[in-house]
Structure 1
Amino acid sequence: MALDYFAPGVYVEEVDRGSRPIEGVSMSVAGFVGFTEDIRGDAELFKPMLITNWSQYLEYFAKPGSPHPGFTEFDAYLPFAIQGWFDNGGGRCWVVSIGTRPPGSTAPSAEETATKVLTSGKKPSLRFNLRLPDGDTAALPPSEGRLTVRISEGEPKPLPEDAPDDTEPPFNTGEYFTLEIKSGNEVVGRYPHLTMNPEAETAVADYVVTALADSEFLDIADMSVAGQPLSRRPVNGFYEVAPPPYVGQVDRVSRDLQGIRDDRAGIEGLFEIDEVAMIACPDMLRAYQEGWLDLDQIHGLMERLFTLCENSFPGPAYRMAVIDPPPVKVGKNNNQAILPEQQKPQDVAKWLSEFNRRSMFGAVYYPWIKVPNPRNGGRPIMVPPSGHMMGIWCRTDESRGVFKAPANETPRGVLGLAYETNMREQEMLNPMGINCIRNFANYNRGYKVWGARTLVEPDNVQWRYISVRRLISYIEKSIEMGTQWVVFEPNDQDLWARVTRTVTTFLTRLWREGALFGNSPNDAFFVKCDGELNTHDTMMLGRLYIEIGVCPVRPAEFVIFRISQWAPNQ
């Protein structure tokens, strides 16, 4: 606004008098931690990578040329969880890979990890390995030192300047090529006039193995079979060369999973991604089944998940962790096996009682689910349900809203259940906060998610339901993000009115969508920002207080029809 007017005329001034609308935040972005088949492109070991669809997951975490891309040889559960997430309606997610090989396994040979280049006839031509420093035999993280090799058209060497004028230049037979080594966008090595002929005259071309023998970046091997140099020539293209895969030690599995928050690594690193609102770590249980972690270590990681979800300073806590029930051990002594099929309702109830950790920001689903395993001809494998369940959360958010309980929904991609829970068994599990996945074949309804409770204490009724917890988190986070403009504004009645209008408009929209209970907005919520809350003393301290009360809708978990005989008046 202009401070003074001296010359006659028309002055146009822009004045901001309206309230700023609050845009709801997304509560449908997931975070996953576990083992992957490979780590490629921009993906890095231990670091969160944004994935938006299954094809993109394969681009970053599938091995090139794999007959079953994306799925590991040791049946890690993370790929099944990611596929279940997308199949069930999941959108964006962040994936943290903690490795591509079983911890403690033998490091792969150079031939196994090499980048292989073929001829135009699809026969072996060259093999590339990243050259490690002398004496360095440790498996390096694949994200460090990754190079790109480009093979393009080439030609024989030109004639020397002192060659006689009547000398004919070498004939280009098509066997020659140029090789470039790139680190990121920087070319760190260029080798023109190359051939696959080990007996080539150096005046005409250089044998590729000899030319790169002194390279500080690549080890190269000739895999071609007998034939003319042209038929053995590598096909043009770009080829990624990565260090050997990281093979973790068994005693580091827990640390690799948990990670370090400051390094944005592991589970802790996901909490540095603001948009992540739900987290699962299914390969915790793969590590348990393989003996890499014991049950106490599993409980420690689950406890850490809940603690991180509960602590979100300075903003409100809004993330939830979906944990999976550990399978039970069967057999004796050295013949013990850990099988999810053997986990009965009483087993999972006993486990939760022994774990003895309650949190309104946690949820658990039982039993494990049966899905196709591409690495075993499509035969079924039992996997933890967390990835599929979080996909249903996302699907429900998009189709109905975050206030709708993610239950009475069909899990997609599920062939069966590790155990078919009946009504009486669920009567034991449901009050404990264990959400069951049921088979309703008798009703011709298939498999249904038949529970919507958090892991809060059973007597804490306010936060019993997943939908209520997520709705309140949605409201809190949306208001926090949508009212940042209020900071440092003059703290007077005009500001109080603007803030009240802003929040009221947002909550009214939620009420109209069915998220809040009441016949009118006045019945569904209240917003208070006045002189009673904001006294002279509080304003002197630079504080603005707003009180908000909401009445969330709650799921009709128990539907009771009371039927009696009725005789109409005669």
Structure 2
Amino acid sequence: MSQYLSPGVYVEEVPPSARPIAGVGTSTAGFVGVVPDEVVMPAQPGKFTTTSENKTVPLLYPVAEAGKPLLITSWEQFKNAFGDFQSKSSNANATDADFAAYQQLQHAVYGFFNNGGTRCWVIRVAESSDLADPSNLLTQLAAIDEITIVAIPGATKQAQHTAILSHCFSLQDRVAILDGINDADLTPESIAPAGRSEAGSYGAIYFPWIQVFDPIAKANMTIPPSGHIAGIYARSDSSRGVFKAPANEMIVGALDADRRLSKADQDGLNPEGINVIRVFNGTVKVWGARTRADEANSEFRYISTRRFMNFLRESIDQGTQFVVFEPNSPALWQRITRSVSDFLLTQWQSGALFGETPKQAFFVKCDAETNPPNVRELGQVVTEIGVAIVKPAEFVVFRIQQTTGN
């Protein structure tokens, strides 16, 4: 309490009893891919160096260090760190497999920004064989808390899919975007080598691959869709919110699907968690929003549900750090209840929660019942939160009947 020594009027600032919870970001991607050590790098503007033969030549950007995550916020920045689009003849020392993987990473990041992405972290490896087991590389991404989407463009092996899903499942603050096997039969088992599982609820798989324009060959080329899909996640988050399923969305830059699938084709894939890319009147669209969750985890059937739950968990966790070491009393319980309730009210008002009233959409309970003496003795304060998350209208049914006129 302040001490006053002379008469007068004194105005004091009083800290609020509850602090607002700000929603965390949801659209920062983490990419892992191949960039050969000998890749041709662009020149640094206005900088030159002298060769051993006394010739003045442009000074090139150095290729980014392998195995180290680098924040990229534009395609220009990616080019300066990992190289621009280029021909195989310019990379004679790279194997065909390594150069193809390099092109897939380039087009993935370009497609990410072109479809609405704004921030991503990129880890490069020198050879495609370094991606056989990406677990150690993914560990480098684990320390970057802002990452909420993870993709390894072109990775379609079972071990690779399992590693990415396990990474997301263990951290519980991000989801995986997986590429299906492009030349597979139209069966879920051949498209998705890693089966449906609990960890699968933290990832979604997309099929088939897409065709884009290659500015070097000046022709269409087939690439995995994961980078473009990550950009669509970011675009949908920005325009609608993370609760909106990132489906029925146009893939900017995609000229065609590598395989045109019909509704009958999708009928056998959608129930098994394969998200199909379809072409409608010349427009390439994402036409699925399911995760790889098994039946035991069907409450996370949709990728929007999983991502929104991740968003709630991370936002509440970060937004309530102020209560740590506060006296565990009814006053604290009321502050927690108000902070979390205000945050969830905002989510309900934005359309993320189901219910005609806030009471139908969510509840927050932090009181003597959730915090009895034995819990308080452990130094814990327990809050129970329930939310009714909106689910995507995947099947829209109109029932039409003929009636006789009066």
TM-score, normalization by structure 2:
0.86
Residues 345-424 of structure 1: matches in 2 within 5 Å? Answer: 345-346=186-187, 349-351=188-190, 355-358=194-197, 359-376=200-217, 378-424=218-264
- Structure richer in helix, relative to its length: 2
The separation in 1 between residues aligned to 2:131 and 2:298, in whole angstroms, is 37
Q: CA deviation at 1:542?
A: 1.1
Task: Confirm or deny: 8 A CA contact 1:321 1:362 kept in the other structure.
Answer: yes
Instruction: Tell me, yes or no, if structure 1 residue 557 matches structure 2 residue 394.
Output: yes
Q: CA deviation at 1:277?
A: 0.5
The separation in 1 between residues aligned to 2:368 and 2:245, in whole angstroms, is 38
Residue matched to 1:309: 168
Question: SS in structure 2 opposite 1:355?
Answer: coil
Instruction: Tell me, yes or no, if structure 1 residue 284 matches structure 2 residue 155.
Output: yes
The separation in 2 between residues aligned to 1:416 and 1:98, in whole angstroms, is 29
Q: What does the per-residue CA deviation read over 1:408-452, in whole Å, with 9 as the maximum and x for residues that have no partner?
A: 0110111111111101110100000000011112xxx62211000
The separation in 2 between residues aligned to 1:89 and 1:386, in whole angstroms, is 14
Residue matched to 1:449: 286
Task: Confirm or deny: 8 A CA contact 1:504 1:527 kept in the other structure.
Answer: yes
Q: 1:518 aligns with which of 340, 355, 371?
A: 355
Q: 1:300 aligns with which of 138, 147, 159?
A: 159
Residue matched to 2:15: 16
Residue type of the partner of 2:366? C
Residues 424-439 of structure 1: matches in 2 within 5 Å? Answer: 424-439=264-279
Task: Confirm or deny: 8 A CA contact 1:85 1:388 kept in the other structure.
Answer: yes
Instruction: Tell me, yes or no, if structure 1 residue 89 matches structure 2 residue 110.
Output: no
The separation in 2 between residues aligned to 1:357 and 1:395, in whole angstroms, is 27
Pairwise CA RMSD: 2.3
5+ long unaligned stretches in structure 1: 104-249, 260-265, 286-297, 328-339
Question: SS in structure 2 opposite 1:522?
Answer: helix
Greater radius of gyration (CA): 1
Q: CA deviation at 1:9?
A: 5.7
Residue matched to 2:145: 274
Residue matched to 2:26: 27
Residue type of the partner of 1:431? P
* Deviates further, 425-434 or 43-52: 43-52
Residue matched to 2:81: 60
Question: SS in structure 2 opposite 1:435?
Answer: strand
Residue matched to 1:322: 177
Question: SS in structure 1 opposite 2:249?
Answer: coil
Q: Pick closer, same or farther for the CA change 1:353–1:22 going to 2, 3 Å.
A: closer
The separation in 1 between residues aligned to 2:4 and 2:248, in whole angstroms, is 67
TM-score, normalization by structure 1:
0.62
Counting matched residue pairs gives 373
Q: 2:304 aligns with which of 452, 463, 467?
A: 467
Q: What does the per-residue CA deviation read over 1:110-151, in whole Å, with 9 as the maximum and x for residues that have no partner?
A: xxxxxxxxxxxxxxxxxxxxxxxxxxxxxxxxxxxxxxxxxx
Q: Pick closer, same or farther for the CA change 1:425–1:55 going to 2, 3 Å.
A: same
Q: CA deviation at 1:524?
A: 0.5
The separation in 1 between residues aligned to 2:286 and 2:344, in whole angstroms, is 29
Q: CA deviation at 1:321?
A: 0.8
Residue type of the partner of 2:155? M
The separation in 1 between residues aligned to 2:10 and 2:252, in whole angstroms, is 63
